[in-house]
Amino acid sequence: MKNFKILLASTLVVLVSASCAFAKDCTKDCAKDKPTHKMEAYAHPTMFGSQAQQLNTAKETYIVGGKVYKKKNHLGVVNKDQVIISSRVDALMNLLEKKQKAANFNCKMPVLRSELAVILAEEFGLNNKSVSNKYKDIPSDYWAKDWIYGALNSGVMIGYPDNKFRPDQPVTKAEVFATVAQLISVPTDRSLIVPEFNGKEMQNIPKWAIAPTKEVVASDLLKDVPNPDKVNSEEYLSKEQVAYLICSLKQNWTGSNSIAKDQNAPNAIKNYAPVVLNVKILDRLSARHSNAGDRFTAETTSDVTINGQCFKAGSKVRGEVVQVVRPGIKNPGYIKVKFVKIQDGDLCAEFPKDLSQAQVDTLKNPNILARLLGFPFSGAGRVVGIVGRTAGSGVDVVGNSLEEFGDELSTAFVDTLTLHPGSGAINLGKSVATLGIGIYDICKLLVSGTFGVLYEVTDEVRYLIIPKYSNESSLNPNEELKIVF
């Protein structure tokens, strides 16, 4: 009964139906191909760090509109990179699990040679150029054949002299570092001293791998890899750790580009260059009021070529919100969106699934008339939403507390009348405690709801008067985004 009430209350708070959403953080759990749903009622997002809605799947990687900050005439998306990297890792883990069809797939297990090839080929677009199958241990129907030959033909991986690739062989940490080091150029000294990472000397590094290990450590690519202690001590890196490493490198090359490409790197890596799409948002998207599944539109501000087709400036771009994390205390929240397709008259194209980076380049605030017309509706709607969620949560708390209080009080009387006064007294005490906890929860909801109303009214007024200071976790009409993929 209690579980049913909790489910009913949560459903009344958030009704979500979306076939495309986002991935859980792979540092917490291995990504699963099956969608995972989590809904939690809240009185207001700024209190107690709760979230109204979190609907997740692990399918693809999307643009993040995170907390933004004003700096002259330039906006940046704060803490965006790590969200994108972890999301892309989830997508890769799902791909590996789905293609291998392994019931016991575990992203914490050592990465295999076939899996390393998939990660490299996926992240850097290393395509199979239809060569003959020269490795006798890769049958024509092998699940990773195209990715393996993509990595081989591009020169980022090599096979063994006996015409075997050994796709199911685990890759040592040293071998992973050597593979990455041939792609990057990071200055290091020439000593044979094993480098430290995370304050400890890196273990299981043979002499031949000291130089590439030093290069990878100096690049800072390992800073976001999960379980740093295991990175130091274990002989093998896990599938997700390698994915973090490679995704961090790609993120650097599509963003800050602070890590140079090795002059001896394969041409496929040296020629790697992302496509840049400049769009102007036509709708307001915010982590405070947007929901997963919301559609939005944008238009390009410059020409762009996608899949060999040139789309002129002014082409329409369709997108969809795929995840919303509500803001809270010490939690700026964020909104994730995906861009579905671009259209210029009869010319239409689907976007690649891997959109690597988003940056707000120019802020053009909505005009005062638009803000004045929208203020009564958005302000009233947000206040009504808080009141409704507070009341719904209160009903849920009261119902559950009374049900539990009645059950414990009934048990107390039954135990006492059946000559078990000790058990009766314990259950009587439990009933009193349940009543006290229920009252405390109601008071907490009232405080949270009151604070939420005041906060939302203040935020709406601030957006009305000075919109540039009300852009946390939001993308506003006419803001221009530079999207890299």
The mean pLDDT of 166-180, rounded to a whole number, is 95
Distances (CA, A) of 457 to 47, 283, 451, 454, 477: 15, 21, 10, 5, 21
Instruction: Determine contact, residues 111/239, Cβ cutoff 8 Å.
Output: yes
Least confident range from 94-103, 300-309, 378-387: namely 378-387
- Terminus-to-terminus CA distance in the chain, angstroms? 49
Give the pLDDT of residue 32.
Answer: 40
Q: Which of 47, 84, 29, 213 is nearest to 484 (CA)?
A: 84
Rounded CA separation 463/397 (Å): 34
Distance (Å, whole) CA 381 – CA 453: 11
Q: What pLDDT is stored for residue 196 in this prediction?
A: 93
**pLDDT on residue 119:** 95
Flag whether pLDDT at 6 surpasses 70.
no
Which range has the worst mean pLDDT, 34-43, 85-94, 279-288, 399-408? Answer: 34-43
Residues 6 or more apart whose Cβ sits within 8 Å of residue 384: none
Q: How do residues 32-43 score in pLDDT, each as one tens digit?
A: 433 333 322 233
Is the pLDDT at 470 greater than 80, yes or no? Answer: no
CA 366-371-375 angle, 5° bins: 150
Mean pLDDT check: name the lowest of 121-135, 152-166, 220-234. 121-135
**Residue count of the chain:** 485
Least confident of 297-301, 332-336, 404-408: 332-336
- Look at residue 35 in the predicted model and tell me its pLDDT: 34
Residues 57-73: what's their mean pLDDT?
A: 42
At 471, the pLDDT band (50, 70, 90 cuts) reads low
Phi-psi region of 186 (alpha: psi -120 to 50; beta: other; left: phi over 0): beta
Q: State residue 14's pLDDT score.
A: 28
* b/e burial code for range 271-290 (CB count within 10 A of at least 16 → b): ebebbebbbbbeebbbbbbb
Give 262 or 468, the one with higher predicted confidence: 262
What percentage of residues in the chain have a pLDDT greater than 70?
74
Q: Tokens in use for 399?
A: 């119902």
Confidence check: pLDDT of 262 > 90: yes
Query: What is the arithmetic mean of pLDDT over 155-175?
Result: 92
Residue 61 contacts residue 355 (beta carbons within 8 Å)? yes
Question: How many other CB atoms are found less than 10 A from the CB of residue 421?
Answer: 13
3-state secondary structure 21-51: CECCCCCCCCCCCCCEEEECCCCCCCCCCCC
Alpha-carbon distance of 122 to 323, in angstroms, equals 23
User: Do residues 186 and 259 touch, judged by C-beta distance below 8 A?
Assistant: yes
Q: Region 438-451: what's the mean pLDDT?
A: 84
Tokens 């797939």 found at: 105
Number of alpha carbons in the 13 Å side-chain half-sphere of residue 136: 5
Task: Evaluate if residue 420 carries a pLDDT over 50.
Answer: yes
Contact 464, 375 (CB under 8 A): yes
Q: Cα dihedral sign for 162, 165, 169, 172?
A: positive
Instruction: Name the pLDDT band for 29 (thresholds 50, 70, 90).
Output: very low
**Torsion angle defined by CA atoms of residues 211, 216, 218 and 224, in that order, rounded to the nearest 10 degrees:** -160
60 pLDDT band, cuts 50/70/90, is: very low
Q: Which residues of 313-334 are buried (b: 16+ CB within 10 A; e: fewer)?
A: eebbbbbbbbbbbbbbeebbbb
Average pLDDT over the chain, rounded to an integer:
76
H or E element in which residue 480 lies: strand 480-484
Distance CA 271, CA 139 (A): 30
- The pLDDT of 193-215, averaged and rounded, is 94
How does strand 474-475 pair with strand 316-325?
unpaired
Q: Helix, strand or coil for residue 195?
A: coil
DSSP state of 291: -
16 with 292: CB under 8 angstroms?
yes
Residue ranges of domains in the chain: 83-270
Confidence of residue 59 (pLDDT cuts 50, 70, 90): very low
Cβ atoms of 215 and 184 closer than 8 Å:
yes
pLDDT for 46 beyond 50? no
Selected residue with higher pLDDT from 111 and 44: 111
The rounded distance, in Å, linking the Cα atoms of 143 and 95 is: 11
Report whether pLDDT(274) > 70.
Answer: yes
Between CA 208 and CA 195 the distance in angstroms is: 13
| 419 backbone φψ class: left, alpha, beta (φ>0; ψ -120 to 50) | left
> What average pLDDT does the segment 303-323 reach?
86
Q: What are phi and psi of 338, to 5 degrees?
A: -120, 145
Alpha carbons within 13 A on the beta-carbon side of 291 = 10
pLDDT digits (tens, 9 = 90+) for 350-387: 876 655 555 555 555 667 777 788 778 877 877 887 78
Residue 49: its pLDDT value, please? 33
Provide the pLDDT for residue 163. Answer: 87
Q: Give the pLDDT band (50/70/90) at residue 328.
A: low
- For residue 11, the model assigns a pLDDT of 29
C-alpha span between 485 and 131 (Å, rounded): 27
The number of helices, as runs of H, and strands, as runs of E, in the chain is: 11, 20
61 burial (CB, 10 Å; 0-12 / 13-18 / 19+) is buried
